[in-house]
């Protein structure tokens, strides 16, 4: 059991509008008070300026959903870590399963993006997780360890600065949550791997759970010894639900 502050990060995915974002953030700021955990929202890139302004001086940090591994140049459609930094971005999701699945992101690419974030003072939230087929074939441990090993290989001792998110792909957006015991068993594996790479710093690395976490199941998941917070998709778009999850993280 560790004593670090938990992190609750919302992943808005490709949702929102200027009007909807403003209403959501206003409701969050009205209800959030002084949270016991760290809170962030990872928003679509076009809304970074809006959110930087809305969240200014608040206890909610700004996050991005992806970044380029490259520092600048001819990479149409990409955003560099330095550009995100210009908007006060503190966290960036890296290697979300939707990017691995729909954009062909590889373990090596995810490791390079992690390095770009770290080099620019942005905390990467590095996602790992197995598909349903991989779980059913008994390959969960092998898959998540391979994904994390690539990040460790490229980033060495700097991995003490990352956040890891265990997101079983079969639980994302499906309403099927990993049981607290199942999630804890994978988190413990990841913790052991981090321990091997970062020695005593491993205990301070936050490992979030993500995959249909909601207001009803958050407290039980967050009570597990190696679950240090949550990466929340759908439920982060509903202020009362997200606020309840934040309240459960202490």
**Quick one: 116 or 231, whose CB is closer to ligand PEP?**
231
- Is position 167 annotated as part of the catalytic site? yes
Q: Three-class SS of residue 90?
A: strand
Distance of alpha carbon 224 from the chain centroid: 18
Interface with ligand PEP in residues 194-233 (CB under 6 A)? 210-213, 231-233
**Residue 101 CB, nearest approach to ligand PEP (Å):** 12
CB 144 within 8 A of CB 131: no
The 10 Å CB-count burial string (b at 16+, else e) for 210-225 is: bbbbbbebbeebbebe
DSSP 39: E
CA–CA gap between residue 93 and residue 96 (Å, rounded): 7
Q: Which of 98, 105, 161, 167 is catalytic?
A: 167
**Quick one: 221 or 235, whose CB is closer to ligand PEP?**
235
* CA distances to 51, 82, 95, 110, 211 from 117, in Å: 19, 9, 12, 11, 24
**Quick one: 152 or 213, whose CB is closer to ligand PEP?**
213
Tell me the binding residues. 11-13, 173, 212, 233-234
Which of 234, 243, 246, 249 forms a contact with ligand PEP (CB under 6 A)? 234
Q: Give the CA-trace dihedral at 42, 45, 48, 50, to 10 degrees.
A: -110
Tell me the binding residues for substrate. 11-13, 173, 212, 233-234
Q: Three-class SS of residue 37?
A: coil
Which of 167, 226, 228, 241 forms a contact with ligand PEP (CB under 6 A)? 167
| 173 sits near ligand PEP (criterion: CB under 6 A) | yes
Number of residues counted as binding ligand PEP (CB under 6 A): 14
Q: Give the CA-trace dihedral at 64, 69, 74, 76, to 10 degrees.
A: -40
Which of 7, 11, 55, 79 forms a contact with ligand PEP (CB under 6 A)? 11
**Residue 157 CB, nearest approach to ligand PEP (Å):** 27
Interface with ligand PEP in residues 13-72 (CB under 6 A)? 13
- Is position 139 annotated as part of the catalytic site? no
**Quick one: 144 or 198, whose CB is closer to ligand PEP?**
144
**Quick one: 202 or 230, whose CB is closer to ligand PEP?**
230
Q: Which of 96, 98, 130, 161 is catalytic?
A: 96
Which is nearest to 68 in space by CA: 46, 49, 83?
Answer: 83
Q: Which residues are catalytic?
A: 96, 167
Chain contacts with ligand PEP (rule: CB under 6 A): 11, 13, 167, 172-173, 210-213, 231-235
């Amino acid at each position: 059991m560790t004593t670090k502050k938990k992190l609750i990060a919302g992943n808005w995915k490709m949702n929102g509008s200027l009007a909807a974002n403003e209403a959501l953030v206003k409701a969050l700021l009205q209800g959030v008070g002084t949270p016991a955990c760290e809170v962030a929202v990872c928003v679509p890139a076009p809304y970074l300026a809006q959110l930087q302004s809305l969240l200014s001086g608040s206890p909610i940090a700004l996050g991005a959903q992806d970044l380029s591994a490259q520092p600048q140049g001819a990479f149409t459609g990409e955003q560099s870590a330095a550009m995100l930094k210009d908007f006060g971005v503190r966290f960036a999701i890296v290697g979300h399963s939707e990017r691995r699945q729909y954009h062909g992101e590889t373990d090596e690419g995810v490791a390079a993006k992690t390095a770009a974030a770290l080099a620019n003072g942005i905390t990467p939230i590095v996602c790992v997780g197995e598909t349903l087929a991989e779980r059913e074939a008994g390959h969960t441990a092998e898959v998540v360890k391979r994904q994390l090993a690539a990040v460790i290989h490229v980033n060495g001792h700097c991995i003490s600065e990352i956040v890891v998110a265990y997101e079983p792909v079969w639980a994302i957006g499906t309403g099927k949550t990993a049981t607290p015991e199942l999630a804890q068993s994978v988190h413990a594996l990841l913790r052991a791997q981090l321990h091997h790479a970062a020695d005593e710093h491993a205990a301070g690395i936050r490992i979030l759970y993500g995959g249909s976490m909601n207001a009803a199941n958050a407290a039980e998941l967050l009570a597990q010894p190696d679950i240090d917070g949550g990466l929340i998709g759908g439920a982060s778009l509903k202020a009362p639900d997200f606020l309840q999850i934040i309240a459960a993280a202490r």
